[in-house]
């Protein structure tokens, strides 16, 4: 049977472990989002050149991994910059 001090230490340690796991998961998700946004921006740069810079800035400001995934799944089929703008706008609205 745990004495109150041991019980408190146990719960403090458990909380610290859970906090650390949450921090690692958050860092992983942020890294994945940054990678996806950079892939999208690279495509925009190659496909549309400097004209796409404002749109790239918009993409880099997106932190929602689901929105970035929606964009990533469809960005390679756009033919015009306006289509890319509409795709990104629609993906942000769908959040």
pLDDT in tens, 8-22: 999 999 999 999 999
Give me the helix-helix angle, 4-48 and 81-93, nearest 10°: 160
Would you say 71 and 35 are in contact if contact means Cβ atoms under 8 Å apart?
no
Count the domains in the chain. Answer: 1
When pLDDT is cut at 50, 70 and 90, the band that residue 92 belongs to is confident
Taking residues 69-90, report their average pLDDT: 94
Question: How much is the pLDDT for 47?
Answer: 95
Domain that includes residue 26, residue range: 4-93
Closest CA to 62 of 25, 27, 36, 28: 36
- Reported as a single tens digit per residue, the pLDDT across 26-52 is 999 999 999 999 999 999 999 999 999
- Residue 2 pLDDT greater than 80, yes or no: no
């Amino acid at each position: 049977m745990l004495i109150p001090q041991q019980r408190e230490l146990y719960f403090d340690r458990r909380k610290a472990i859970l906090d650390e796991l949450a921090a690692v998961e958050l860092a992983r998700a942020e890294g994945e989002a940054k990678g996806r946004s950079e892939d999208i921006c690279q495509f925009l740069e190659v496909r549309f050149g400097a004209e796409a810079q404002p749109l790239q800035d918009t993409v880099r400001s997106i932190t929602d991994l689901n929105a970035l995934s929606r964009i990533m799944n469809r960005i390679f089929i756009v033919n015009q910059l306006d289509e890319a703008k509409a795709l990104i706008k629609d993906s942000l609205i769908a959040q």
